[in-house]
Amino acid sequence: MTPLSRQRGSMLLVVLFLAGLLGVFAAVAASAMHAAAESSRTFANGLRADEAMRGAIDYVIAQTGSAIQQSRGTASIQMGRAKVLLRVSDEAARIDLNRAPPELLAGIFRQVGVPGDVAATYAARIVDWRDPDDKISPNGGAELGAYRSAGRTDGPRNGPFLSVAELALVLGIPMRTAAAVAPYVTVASGRDKVNPMYADPPVLMAIPGIDENRVRDFLEQRKQPGAELKSLISRLGPVQSFVTEQNGAAVRFEGSVLVDGGDERHYEVVASVRGGDNAPYRIVAWDANPPARIRALP
């Protein structure tokens, strides 16, 4: 092969290599553009879903006003090109971190696998977090000195929990444990008891003195049309100190929002409507990625 032929061959290899390299660059650029477009679409759908969820809540509260606290059930609402499926429930179905007695608080920790003595300690520390005094609660409560001994520069709020997420700040409660009980607690019911007609099974099982057989029977009976607590309470046993049929101070909107392209988003929003307020309603909690919770016994 002559030098000229070898040179031409080398140039051809270079051209082919560059062509292949350009093809790779083009593929990478196309992939990046697709990813960017998909990210933009996802972001835009998130904004549309947020807007649709808030619009659906506005619509329901405009229809019911302060009576929303007595409203229960489901609704399907078309908001522009988004469809919203709403479920309205009483916030008293959850255990209120700011009001519940230690027995109920310890009970819900036991339901997520915390040993009894440790659950009692967590409950005592929740009480010490929310109460205004510096007296240490029995069963391992913790006031400012305990936080300092643990190397913490903060201490108990000595006031009400502002959100369920704040539970992870209570001394000794692991973040994973706080997340596990989050679907069953609230800061907005305003009740020291729970409404068992709407409570999830772990909340019912958290009630002192109750057992699984009673809960199974109660869950079956409350499905019946016209079921009322006064006629069913005996099935739960001696639980009057921990249950109520009163409505909570807030309601929970569970929303499934379907936007363009079949993109489905899920929400849980807690809203409060109070007479004399200058706002139609107040959002107490907004969760665009609500945790799953147990709605039936195995």
Distance CA 75, CA 153 (A): 47
Is residue 38 pLDDT above 60, yes or no? no
Average the pLDDT over each of 135-144, 197-206, 232-241 and give the range with the smallest value. Answer: 232-241
| Residue closest to 233 by CA, chosen among 254, 207, 271 | 207
Helix, strand, coil percentages in the chain from 3-state DSSP, rounded to 5: 50, 15, 35
Provide the β-strand partners of residue 95. Answer: 185
Average pLDDT, the chain: 89
Residue 23's pLDDT is what?
Answer: 60
Q: Is the dihedral of CA 87, 92, 95, 98 positive or negative?
A: positive
Six-digit token string for 166: 């704040």
> Token pair for residue 206?
């958290």
pLDDT score at 71? 82
Give dist(CA 197, CA 270) in Å, integer. Answer: 18
pLDDT at 57: 94
pLDDT of the residue at 116: 97
Q: What is the rounded CA–CA span in Å between residue 90 and residue 253?
A: 9
pTM for the full model? 0.85
Flag whether pLDDT at 287 surpasses 70. Answer: yes
For residues 64 and 76, give the distance between their C-alpha atoms in angstroms, rounded to a whole number: 15
**What residues pair up with 267 in beta bridges, in sequence order?**
255
Of 27 and 199, the structure prediction assigns the larger pLDDT to: 199
Q: What is the pLDDT of residue 2?
A: 58
- The residue extents of the domains of the chain are 1-94+189-298, 112-184
pLDDT surpasses 60 at 17: no
pLDDT category of residue 141 using cuts at 50, 70 and 90 = very high
Residue 24: predicted pLDDT: 57
Q: How far apart are CA 104 and CA 69, in angstroms?
A: 23
- Sorted by sequence, the CB contacts under 8 Å of residue 153 that are 6+ apart come out as none
DSSP conformational letter for 109: H
Tokens representing residue 298 in the block: 């195995």
In this model, does residue 4 exceed pLDDT 80? no
Cβ atoms within 10 Å, residue 39: 10
Rounded to whole angstroms, how far apart are CA atoms 73 and 187? 22
The Cα–Cα gap between 95 and 108 comes to: 8
